[in-house]
Amino acid sequence: MPSVRDTLVPLASKPAGRRFLIQVPGSAQSKLSDADLAEVLNWMVDHLSAVPASRPVAKFTAAEVAAYRHKPLVAVKEERRRLIAGAP
């Protein structure tokens, strides 16, 4: 399985990947507020990514988190695999 450090920037750079990062159980089920979760995701992209961004990655916002975190992601591994492979 690919490291999260290798996939943060690629995932955070695409709408479906951003949705995935918000909907994974560790994010979606967190007791953090939407604003705090957005800040944690932004920090992760900025400080944990092993892959440099070729262009600036848009910052996660509380509104973006609120729009996706309550829609459960059922097939986490399959969705991650699909996104990393570049499938739409």
Domain segments of the chain as ranges: 4-84
Calpha distance 86→46 (Å, rounded) = 22
Distance of CA 84 to the CA centre of its chain: 12
Give yes or no for residue 1 having a pLDDT over 60. no
Q: Which residue has the tokens 């892959």?
A: 51
CB 58 within 8 A of CB 21: no
Q: Which of 13-17, 35-39, 49-53, 76-80 has the highest mean pLDDT?
A: 35-39
Give yes or no for residue 2 having a pLDDT over 70. no
Biggest CA pair distance of the chain: 32
User: 19-55, pLDDT tens digit by residue?
Assistant: 999 999 999 999 999 999 999 999 999 998 887 777 7
Using alpha carbons, select from 86, 84, 70 the residue that is nearest to residue 34: 70
What does the mean pLDDT of the chain come to? 90
In this prediction the pTM is 0.89
Helices (H), the chain: 4-12, 15-23, 25-28, 34-47, 62-68, 76-84
